[in-house]
């Protein structure tokens, strides 16, 4: 038995902070920061000469614990790199919540990573970076691997995608919009959680907030982050607002009225409201409750 996508799909993952596992100071700081997820990176953020040290530091940090409610993932190097097999073996033997694997192109890649985790704890999840041109045509098939493997979450890798496409990563992210929305739809079709890519401009919080709101609009569960200053604004954007909750409560109350029993469509606050909106309203209230419970 492995952790299925549905076991973990409702967990709040508004903010997922990356840090190079080779950075001891960042590792210590991550235990005190209000992010929902910590991703200890062994891949892009770690130079080749620091790979072994970073792996040892990540495994030691997970063993030491102290991350509280934060879900801890370790991002491995690709399975075909010189560090991949050792990373996967070390992570499989750890108590990390998830292994995040880079540059997934196809369902076959997911099968290979899943096989490498054969001996891992049953609850260890497989998370995948969606960041290559080849993955674009394979999104539904990659997502369908959640039915039979540990796959439960995707993170968009917009920096790698920009590099491969030779596209420009501008504030409005125009070149990536079709890909981002197709990825959200493919993930949702299989109950996979999905997080937006990073915003490199960590000194410009207004720009960051605008990009984060764009991610919320697309339906992402949260956003991957590179700097502590991005956490609070990200948590705010991805938490149901007072207005959202007031709407949700009004919808739930309206459908509970005796005169609305058995109806599929009613009027709430002057707007057509259907049973599908009731489902959305219940989900918002549930998410708000889960966020409250984490505090």
Binding marks (x or -) toward ligand COA, 176..205, rule CB under 6 A?
Answer: ----------------------x-------
Site string for ligand COA, 30-49 (x = CB under 6 A): x----------x--xx----
CB of 164 to Mg ion, least distance (A): 10
Options 5, 9, 19, 278; binder of ligand COA; rule CB under 6 A: 19
Q: Is 126 helix (H, G, I), strand (E, B) or coil?
A: strand
Query: Would you say 150 or 223 has its CB closer to ligand COA?
Result: 223
Three-state DSSP state, 161: helix
Report, in Å, the least distance between residue 25 CB and ligand COA.
Answer: 4
Q: Which of 8, 18, 152, 255 binds ligand COA (CB under 6 A)?
A: 18
Beta bridge partners of 267: 272
How many Cα neighbours within 13 Å face the side chain of 144? 7
C-alpha dist (Å) from residue 161 to 1, 115, 238, 272: 33, 26, 24, 40
* Angle in degrees, CA 190, 196, 202, rounded to 5: 165
227 binding ligand COA? (CB under 6 A): yes
Site track for Mg ion across 35-64, x = CB under 5 A: ---------x--------------------
Q: Does the protein bind ligand COA through residue 53 (CB under 6 A)?
A: no
Question: Is residue 129 close enough to count as binding ligand COA by CB under 6 A?
Answer: no
- The residue within the footprint of ligand COA, chosen from 10, 29, 263, 267 (CB under 6 A), is 29
Q: Tell me the closest approach of the beta carbon of residue 30 to ligand COA, in angstroms.
A: 5
Candidates 11-19, 57-65, 81-89, 133-141: pick the segment binding ligand COA (CB under 6 A): 11-19
Q: Report yes or no: 152 and 221 within 8 Å, Cβ to Cβ.
A: no
Q: Are 225 and 15 in contact (CB under 8 A)?
A: yes
Q: What is the number of other CB atoms lying within 10 angstroms of the CB of residue 224? A: 26
CA dihedral (11, 15, 19, 25) positive or negative = negative
| Beta strands 265-268 and 271-274, pairing class | antiparallel
The contact set with ligand COA (CB under 6 A) reads 17-20, 25-26, 29-30, 41, 44-45, 198, 226-228
């Amino acid at each position: 038995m492995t952790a299925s996508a549905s076991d973990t799909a409702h967990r709040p993952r508004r903010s997922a902070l990356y840090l190079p596992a080779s950075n001891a100071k960042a590792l210590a700081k991550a235990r005190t920061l209000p992010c929902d997820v910590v991703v200890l990176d062994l891949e892009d953020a770690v130079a080749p000469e620091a790979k072994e040290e970073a792996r040892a530091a990540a495994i030691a940090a997970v063993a030491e614990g102290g991350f509280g409610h934060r879900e801890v993932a370790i991002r491995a190097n690709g399975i075909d790199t010189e560090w991949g097999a050792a990373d996967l073996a070390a992570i499989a033997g750890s108590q990390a919540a998830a292994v995040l694997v880079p540059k997934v192109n196809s369902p076959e890649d997911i099968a290979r990573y899943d096989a490498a985790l054969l001996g891992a704890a049953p609850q260890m999840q497989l998370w995948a970076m969606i960041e290559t041109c080849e993955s674009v045509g394979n999104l539904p098939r990659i997502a369908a691997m959640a039915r039979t493997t540990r796959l439960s979450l995707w993170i968009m890798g917009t920096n790698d995608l920009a590099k491969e496409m030779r596209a420009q990563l501008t504030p409005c992210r125009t070149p990536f919009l079709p890909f981002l929305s197709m990825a959200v739809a493919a993930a949702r079709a299989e109950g996979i959680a999905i997080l937006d890519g990073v915003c490199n401009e960590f000194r410009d919080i207004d720009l960051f907030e605008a990009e984060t709101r764009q991610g919320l609009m697309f339906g992402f569960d949260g956003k991957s982050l590179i700097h502590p200053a991005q956490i609070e604004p990200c948590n705010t954007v991805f938490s149901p607002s007072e207005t959202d909750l007031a709407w949700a409560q009004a919808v739930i109350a309206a459908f509970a009225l005796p005169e609305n029993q058995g109806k599929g469509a009613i009027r709430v606050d002057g707007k057509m409201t259907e049973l599908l909106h009731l489902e959305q309203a219940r989900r918002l209230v549930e998410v708000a409750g889960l966020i409250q419970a984490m505090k």
